[in-house]
Amino acid sequence: MADDREPPPLFDDEKPDKKEDEDDLFATPNEAPKEEIKDEPASLPTEPAQDKASEDLFAADDDLFGEAVKEVDTSKLRRKLTEDVDDLSPPLTPLEEPKPLIPTPADSSKAPPKKEPPKEKVKKYSQAKEPKPLIPTQADSSKAPKKDASENKNPPPKEEAKKKEDSQTKEAKPSKKEPASMAKEQPPLKPMKVSVDLHPPKPGEGEEVDLDSPETEGPSSPAKMEPDSDSSPLEAPPMAEVLPPAKPVIEEKPKPTPAPRKPSMEKSKEEIEEEESGDQFALDIKVHDPGKIGDGMGAYMSYKVTTQTSIPAFRRPSMTVTRRFSDFLGLHEKLSQKHTHIGRIVPPAPEKSVVGMTKIKMSKEDTSSTEFVEKRRALLERFLQRISLHPVLQMDPDFRDFLEQDELPRATSTSAVSGAGVLRLIKGVGDTFSKVTIKMDESDQWFEEKQNQVEALDQQLKKLHASVEALVTYRKELGISTSAFAKSTAMLSNSEEHTALSRALSQLAEVEEKIELVHLEQADNDFFLLSELLKDYIGIIQAIRVVFHERVKSFHNWQNAQQNLAKKREQEAKFKQTGKTDKIAQAQEEIREWEGKVEKGREDFEEISKTIRTEIRRFETNRVKDFRNIIIKYMETLMNSQQQLIKYWEGFLPEAKAIA
């Protein structure tokens, strides 16, 4: 125990650090953490100003048609700006570098209080919710007391470490401070929590590891991990959610992977778990070089899939294979067969498009088909990347085969069934199950809330998607108009006799042509960033529904078993009453059988409920990350568009001035 106690703090020390880096990685892929810190204070001064600014905007809006239409409006916008960010006042500056990021001492002193409130809220929340977890009694927690002890000893060093870090980085404060405070405040809750989290490793990890590898690391490492994850399951979502699923990974590993690789795997168990807990970019997948293979109606598109990985389970760190669309569908099919029924959310399969494919088959090299191919390529890439980000699916042998194997057995079942058909089937299931759910007496408030939430989210996303689609159309129209005006201008320029004016007009035509491209590019960004993201999430929500449905099915199995058990018991009682002793034995046998089934049903149901919780948590973490990244990326494309406009018009200005 004493030995064991040493490492954990150390581990803790590293862990949050790592996690943070990773968070940053996700958050701002292209930015050094340094900048992040610099950015922080900037939000503070702007916050209050923003309100004022929006008022001004409204005012400007009113004026738009009210009184002063000339160029006042820009001056209004301008005013808003100067009020908000004084640094920006020379309009040139924002172009080169976003200035307002220099932190002032006042700002940094303000920063901590600003971050505090949410933390407290979170804390309260966790207290309120903590006692609830579904699985009520895992009384078999022979390990629990031990855990408890080790945990209670853990906090102090951890706290110190945390504090030290706090003083260094302001970021992610809530997540860091909490463990300490929680450890203090929540000892009564701990046993419950521990038992919940300990349960899985026992059958899964512990045994398997012992069997497969004689290494000593095996058993002790979960012990090491567990306290950590236990003491901070709530404030450190990636950890909490990743740990339990790690167990099946190890279950599966021995089966497909040949012997030589195993020891290394086991040795680096901690590594893997770390990887899984955050370093999800260990798998970098690119789908590229779409190419048409064959002719006529038998033609199909093939894609190159290049993977780079640091996951040791792969034979090589980098590989490229050629896959066709139906292979992707096949992969999805295999994964969902294996994982959906135990509650895992498998990223939705890419949709098959008859129209688009027919065009390709007709070998039409027009823009719409290249657009289609690019759309699909991006879709497939996202599909694979989503799988690769999932700690369990990432390690699935079928997925690995898909990335590694040169030749893949043709997925006959899926090529026969069209993707759209499969999708429709799933959709049908999703739609009908919601009715079933209502029948199910939802004993778990968490699930009830989640289901409502997911439905609301679905509605919201669909609405947003429609809005974005409209926006894309509008933008394309604007592009077309711009191009038409460019042509008119060119003609005007031709018949203009005044040389300088003629030249300026032809320059204008060129500028407008470039601006047309800006609009079209922005329309692409609208589409590929926003629209596709929303569509992906609508698909994922569908997958979530399916998983919810699986849980309901599991519940029904359990209930059925219970009913049958009750019947059998009645029967037995009847036999006893009627004195049919000869049948009692058989009845008791049956009762035992059904008792087993009930127990199994209950376990299955609990298992799937737990998995879904983890999955949903993962989904939400990813949702926040995805939306944050995409929104930022999208906003940056908007900025880029503006920058291009500035560039083009600044290039044109001297021409205009030189007219006379």
Partner 1 sequence: MRSVVLYRSVIAQEGEDQDVTSRLTSSKMDNATDETNTNGTADVSDSPEADQDTPESSGLPEPTLPPKPFEPVFTVKVTDAAKDGEVVKYSLKTAKIKSESEEYKVVRQYEDFEWLEHCLITQNDIGGIIVPPLPPKPSTTAQSAEARSKKQLGNKKRHGSDDEEGNDIKLVVGDEFEKDCRSLEKYLQLVVTHPILGQDESITKFLTVREAPTRAKLKKSIFSNLSKSLGEARKGGHKDVNEFFQKERDTVNEVSLQMKEAKENYMKIVYGEQRVAVGLSHLSTALHLGGQLQEGADVVVNKLFTQFSEGLEDAKQGLEVMAVNDENTLGFSLDLYSRYLEAEKEMLYRRTCKMMEFEAATKAVEKAKPQKRQMAEAARDKAEKEFEDISKAAEKELKNFHHQRVLTFQDSLVRHADAKIKAARDTYALLTKCVTALKTLDTNFKPL
Instruction: Give the span between the Cα atoms of 276 and 267, in whole angstroms.
Output: 15
CB nearer partner 1, residue 373 or residue 533: 533
CB nearer partner 1, residue 123 or residue 376: 123
Cα–Cα separations (whole angstroms), residue 418 to 205, 413, 554, 632: 39, 9, 28, 36
The minimum distance between CB 35 and partner 1, in angstroms, equals: 9
The minimum distance between CB 492 and partner 1, in angstroms, equals: 5
H-helix segments, 154-236: 155-168, 173-185, 190-198, 207-212, 217-231
The minimum distance between CB 312 and partner 1, in angstroms, equals: 30
The minimum distance between CB 335 and partner 1, in angstroms, equals: 24
The minimum distance between CB 238 and partner 1, in angstroms, equals: 10
* Residue 302 three-state SS: strand
CB nearer partner 1, residue 88 or residue 584: 88
CB nearer partner 1, residue 50 or residue 368: 50
Instruction: Give the span between the Cα atoms of 635 and 233, in whole angstroms.
Output: 33
The minimum distance between CB 118 and partner 1, in angstroms, equals: 7
CB nearer partner 1, residue 468 or residue 565: 468
Residue among 296, 337, 300 nearest 415 (CA) = 300
CB nearer partner 1, residue 76 or residue 361: 76
The minimum distance between CB 642 and partner 1, in angstroms, equals: 4
CB nearer partner 1, residue 580 or residue 628: 628
CB nearer partner 1, residue 203 or residue 651: 651
The edge-to-edge listing of strands for the beta sheet with 300-309 is 283-293, 300-309, 318-324
CB nearer partner 1, residue 87 or residue 593: 87
Q: Which residue has the tokens 């409920």?
A: 609
The minimum distance between CB 618 and partner 1, in angstroms, equals: 9
The minimum distance between CB 433 and partner 1, in angstroms, equals: 22
Identify the sign of the CA torsion 450, 455, 460, 466. positive
Residues 6+ apart with CB under 8 A from 288: 303, 304, 306, 377
Identify the sign of the CA torsion 386, 390, 396, 400. positive
Within a 10 A sphere around the Cβ of 643, how many other Cβ atoms?
13
Which amino acid, one-letter code, is at 640?
A: N
The minimum distance between CB 501 and partner 1, in angstroms, equals: 5
Which amino acid, one-letter code, is at 192?
A: M
Cα–Cα separations (whole angstroms), residue 193 to 8, 539, 620: 19, 33, 21
The minimum distance between CB 40 and partner 1, in angstroms, equals: 5
Instruction: Give the span between the Cα atoms of 205 and 136, in whole angstroms.
Output: 22
CB nearer partner 1, residue 439 or residue 657: 657
CB 605 within 8 A of CB 554: yes
CB nearer partner 1, residue 313 or residue 504: 504
Query: Dihedrals φ, ψ of 580, to 5°?
Result: -85, 75
Instruction: Give the span between the Cα atoms of 234 and 390, in whole angstroms.
Output: 19
Which amino acid, one-letter code, is at 96?
A: E
Query: Dihedrals φ, ψ of 305, to 5°?
Result: -115, 115
Instruction: Give the span between the Cα atoms of 637 and 385, in whole angstroms.
Output: 22
What token pair was written down for 85? 């960010």
Within a 10 A sphere around the Cβ of 303, how many other Cβ atoms?
23
The minimum distance between CB 641 and partner 1, in angstroms, equals: 9
H-helix segments, 340-444: 354-361, 367-389, 397-404, 412-416, 419-439
Instruction: Give the span between the Cα atoms of 618 and 214, in whole angstroms.
Output: 32
What token pair was written down for 506? 């032809």
The minimum distance between CB 56 and partner 1, in angstroms, equals: 10
CB nearer partner 1, residue 395 or residue 468: 468
CB nearer partner 1, residue 43 or residue 308: 43
Which amino acid, one-letter code, is at 67?
A: E
